[in-house]
Chain A
Amino acid sequence: MGQADSTIPISVTSAPTWRRVRAFYPVISLFVLLGAWQAGVMLFQPAPYLLPPPMAVANVIVSQFPSLVYHSGITAFETTLAFVFSILVAMPIAFLIARFRWFEETVYPLLVVSQAVPKVALAPLILVWLGFGLSTKVMIGVLVAFFPVIISTVVGLKSVPKDMVYLGRSMGLSAKDMFRKIYFPFALPSIFGGLKVCITLAVVGAVVGEFIGADKGLGYLILLASGQMQTALMFAALIFLVLIGVVSFALVQWAEARLMPWHSSVRQDAGH
């Protein structure tokens, strides 16, 4: 038996094992981070209101669990609404921009200029206009999050190749079918790029809304804990905020994989 023969089975069996090990890499780095945190606290012994040890944060999470879940639910709800309304606002505008030259020329510059305004600075104004309710948080979320959806949708719709348009016209596709069967599916990968940015920004918008005027939600909880120097609670709220961000992003990614299994951003075999 040659040496070459014996190497083949090894590489075959080791591939799945290797993938399983790699799935644990993020977990490993998380534990390293927690370890460093614990070591830092033990070494330098900062006051608990500056940097609580990981165990103190874990204790707060356990003891305040119902309250954290409640406030997370509020923030998650606001984020979802902001995300949905961002899509509802951005998509039609993007379609009109891609379709009509005059609309692009009148509206696009205005949109770009509007993005130069720091949206967070607008939050107090929104508060004055819409009050302390849910609508303020959703409005701020939309303001922060809708723009990437417009950009990505316009880019997607405009990059349909000329020949593909010719093809559609030679088949006698109506304007509606042209959009449904060619433009929209072609733009979908690009649209999802925008949606992923949008969902993360929607969380930011919801928290900013809660900062300026709210009696519930994780943003409110963070402000409250800050005022009472309950740093461990702040950390706990931040962890839940991170969870909302990660889970909502994963949901968008899941929807992407479901809707376009053919696309290279989703496929396992696509090269890096």
Chain B
Amino acid sequence: MGKPIRIEHVTKSYKGLEALSSTSLLIGEGEFVSIVGPSGCGKSTLLRIVAGLDTPTNGRVSVADRVVTKPETDIGIVFQSPVLLDWRSVLDNVLIQAEARKLPHDVYAARARDLLAAAGLKGFESAYPYQLSGGMSQRVSVCRALVHNPSLLLMDEPFGALDALTRDQMMVDLQKLWLRSRPTVVFVTHSVQEAVFLSDRIIVMAPRPGRVEAVLDVPLPRSRRLSMRGTAEFNAIVDEILHHFQRMGVIRDDDGETPDNTTMEMAL
């Protein structure tokens, strides 16, 4: 089961330039939270701060009531690229988590095989990363992030580099894997549909400086099916998020002319 995350007045500046303005969030234990927003809204920065891989300029983050001061290790991270170690087989790539933590090899090898099978990679345990497709590689990196049963799973646009069909499958599989152990998930994405499909809650962020624009609940029942994307409830939430982006001027409908930001905001 996951741990709760408390983000209190966190800001981040690079050389005096504000990348993330004061942000406070509470993420419940075992909650699946997505952060959506355009490039430059500080969502990856926030993720790194939660992971303890970057320090906030102000404010603090605590995981299960312990303030984060160094890299968290009860954690699994998935990046946009799979970041597999080319010199290790698929199984050994997953098992590096166990090795690094001095966990018993046999127990975790069995767990890793089980996870890989659940991710549709049965028979590829001894393959090397160069033999895998992009989607398969990303599956391996998801298994690597889950094998040690972390209470926190951080994903930074994990499906961003995959084709649309593979993304759909990955969403379904991720939901399945998440429901098995229920870690707390922070999932950063560009894709509104992906966020709505996967999340309990969605944080909409705005750019320059990065800030939280809105927080939306997704009260759709689990486990969700791909066909749910056709329902009115699903699309109502998608529309609401898109509306936020329109209001920010991140996306504009083609209405014949391109108004600048200020008139757009006044009109709304």
Which residues in A have some Cβ–Cβ distance to B below 8 Å? 161, 163-164, 166-173, 177, 181-182, 185-186, 188, 260, 262-264, 267
Contacts and interface: CB of A to CB of B under 8 A. Distances in A.
Given A163-B81, A262-B128, A264-B130, A170 B72 contact: yes
13 contacts: A163-B79, A163-B81, A166-B48, A166-B53, A170-B72, A170-B75, A171-B73, A171-B100, A172-B73, A181-B85, A181-B99, A181-B100, A263-B87
Nearest to A182: B85
Nearest to B152: A170
B77 interface: yes
A267 B51 CA distance: 37
Contacts of A186: 85-87
A185 B83 CA distance: 14
B51 A170 contact: yes
Given A163-B79, A163-B81, A169 B71 contact: yes
Interface residues of B, number: 24
A170 B77 contact: yes
Interface of B: 48, 51, 53, 71-73, 75-77, 79-81, 83, 85-87, 96-97, 99-101, 128-130
A167 B86 contact: no
Contacts of A267: 130
A171 B75 CA distance: 8
B130 A262 contact: yes
Nearest to A181: B96
Contact of B79 (A166, A177, A188): A166
Contacts of A260: 87
Interface residues of chain A: helix, strand, loop or mixed (majority): helix
B73 A167 contact: no
Nearest to B79: A163
A185 B76 CA distance: 22
A219 B242 CA distance: 77
B53 A169 contact: yes
Contacts of B53: 166, 169-170
Given A163-B80, A171-B100, 12 more contacts: A164-B85, A166-B79, A167-B79, A170-B51, A170-B71, A170-B72, A173-B100, A182-B85, A186-B86, A260-B87, A263-B86, A263-B87
A79 to B, nearest CB: 29
A161 B83 contact: yes
Given A163-B81, A166-B51, A171 B87 contact: no
A172 B86 contact: no
A172 B100 contact: yes
B71 A172 contact: yes
B86 A170 contact: no
B3 to A, nearest CB: 15
Contact of B83 (A167, A169, A173, A262): A167
A186 B53 CA distance: 21
A163 B157 CA distance: 13
A164 B73 CA distance: 15
Contacts of B48: 166
A218 B180 CA distance: 70
A194 to B, nearest CB: 18
A188 B88 CA distance: 13
A170 B73 contact: yes
Contact of A171 (B79, B80, B96): B96
Contacts of B76: 170
Given A170-B53, A172-B71, A177 B83 contact: no
A181 B102 CA distance: 14
A-B CB proximity, top 9 nearest:
A171-B100, A172-B73, A169-B71, A163-B79, A185-B87, A262-B128, A163-B83, A170-B77, A173-B100
A171 B87 CA distance: 18
Contacts of A173: 100
Contacts of B75: 170
Contacts of B86: 186, 262-263
Contacts of A185: 85, 87
